[in-house]
Chains A and B, each alone.
Chain A
């Protein structure tokens, strides 16, 4: 039973990272309709910058993490303005062409950012210096909770709750959803869609960056490949949760993490990804709009 609970906790902590990354990934997809292949690179960049902020600049961990998050956001805004903005002049009615074009430019940025990240780390797998991040282990009854797992769970709760609040309760969130529905109609309604798009890109980059930093600590592996693993599972979380639903993504992320850890523990560690992706496929077949999704309709 103790093992079960301990693994449940490990799964939740892992899943929190998937959920966090998924929130960033889903935000871009829901607001801009872009399948962003470069999203994983934001996570790698944030982790690398945060690590160098500690190693070279000697910043304390919270400040270094902030620097990493800011770097993730800045890279995301840069990618958006250089890679996606020129394609938006296609305008409405050519949605598929614009979406395809953005997918290709995001692949271009993925290649560039990953290879630049490889140059920054010297093609090696690095790690945060030990002692630079909180390493206390809390004891809750029979369970041991390392501080960084607690931080991951807390981060998911804060970011998930905050983004859900932002999305459903504020004017900014309403503007974001309006731009996601139709940028021209949103502009006619008085929304400055360029500002919204830049802000969304920055937010998404920052959230993905946070996921990258936390993943870099919990796996003790900071490299150009860090983002890709997060991206595959984060993508799964987005689809299972429903791409425009932040609560769904967070819960689906946790679910995937728990599933992965339990499969590795009780079934077979080589099939653990298969279960995650089977769940993904099952959701696409049975509930394509995600955990909490409602019915959809299309206009002619």
Chain B
């Protein structure tokens, strides 16, 4: 029995690890989405955190917590730059701009080999221990839980539902969205360095469109109205390919897409939907 468990662990430990790393990106997207901004820019925050973290790991002997902190701050700085440029755009344009930013990020990474290793990327020596990952994710989830219960959480919900009404109630939507971007930057930057350590490798393709789509799919799949939704969604979206490979190896990708499609059509508000839970409770 314990052998079986060990085998399972060996086979799925990395899936679990990537599920947790993707959870950071999903949380970063959720942070802005919960204030009514659809943004893919967390990929860029991740690149900032990932490459800074990789350089620090390779060239300095800083302790890990400081590296995590520095990477999260790199994400934050990037998020503030993005906020200064993009926050005045309307929602559709904001989404398009952030997608364009992801494309630009890759070109910049490719063409600054001194900082990022260019096409060849950077290889990192030591793997990341699972304990760090669990601890950081727990910390992040705790942070989101606190935010959700705070004054900010309530204000963000109203801005998401209707910014004009929120403004009439005395909430400054711009300020709420700025805070949301800051939170997104921190989570994205941290996710970036964790992704780099998990892969033990960063290259221009580490932070590209597929990450953007993974994280947005994670959020919407898990449920974009609850702080635990993104974590759940990222886990499902990361585990799906592994499971499908075990079940239908030849048509893995097609089965993936079909599963995603079915979940979306039949559970459009995501797997974890606070409204449905409340309704069920009220019915009892």
Contact = CB atoms under 8 A, between A and B. Distances in A.
B96 A104 contact: no
A288 B98 CA distance: 13
Contacts of B85: 285
A284 B258 CA distance: 34
Given A104-B264, A105-B264, A274-B104, A35 B95 contact: yes
Interface in A269-290: 270-271, 273-274, 277-278, 280-281, 284-285, 288
A122 to B, nearest CB: 13
A271 B111 contact: yes
A236 B104 CA distance: 11
Contacts of A100: 38, 216, 220, 224
Interface stretch (B12-20, B128-136, B249-257): B249-257
Interface string A109-142: 1111011100000000000000000000000000
B3 interface: no
Given A87-B268, A271-B111, A96 B36 contact: yes
Interface string B41-66: 00000000000000000000000000
Contacts of B235: none
A270 B224 CA distance: 39
B91 interface: yes
Contact of B256 (A82, A111, A284): A111
A108 B220 contact: no
B205 to A, nearest CB: 13
B213 A107 contact: yes
A97 interface: yes
B120 interface: no
Contact of B100 (A33, A86, A281): A281
A277 B100 contact: yes
Interface in B223-277: 224, 251-254, 256-258, 260-261, 264-265, 268-269
Contacts of B269: 97
Contacts of A225: none
A82 B262 CA distance: 10
B93 A284 contact: yes
Contact of B257 (A86, A112, A278, A296): A112
B217 A107 contact: yes
A101 interface: yes
A137 B253 CA distance: 42
B154 interface: no
A116 B254 contact: yes
Given A111-B257, A115-B257, A235-B99, A90 B104 contact: no
A244 to B, nearest CB: 11
A277 B104 contact: yes
Contacts of B90: 288, 296, 298
A281 B100 CA distance: 7
B199 interface: no
B100 A284 contact: yes
Contacts of A87: 264-265, 268
Residue with the greatest number of chain A CB neighbours at <10 A, chosen from B36, B220, B268: B268
Contacts of A90: 268
A205 B268 CA distance: 25
B254 A83 contact: no
Interface residues of A, number: 44
Given A87-B265, A108-B261, A280 B100 contact: yes
Interface in A1-47: 33, 35, 37
Contacts of A220: none
A100 B269 CA distance: 10
Contacts of A273: 103, 107
B270 to A, nearest CB: 10
A158 interface: no
A114 B210 CA distance: 13
Contact of A103 (B86, B103, B216): B216
A239 interface: yes
Nearest to A79: B261
A269 to B, nearest CB: 11
A236 B100 contact: yes
B108 interface: yes
A300 interface: yes
A284 B96 contact: yes
B101 interface: yes
Nearest to B241: A111
A58 to B, nearest CB: 30
B111 A104 contact: no
28 contacts: A83-B261, A86-B265, A87-B264, A87-B265, A96-B91, A97-B268, A97-B269, A99-B38, A100-B38, A100-B216, A100-B220, A108-B261, A109-B257, A109-B261, A111-B253, A111-B254, A112-B261, A232-B103, A235-B100, A239-B97, A273-B107, A274-B104, A277-B107, A280-B100, A284-B93, A284-B97, A284-B100, A298-B90
Given A104-B264, A115-B254, 8 more contacts: A35-B99, A105-B261, A107-B216, A107-B260, A235-B96, A277-B107, A280-B103, A281-B101
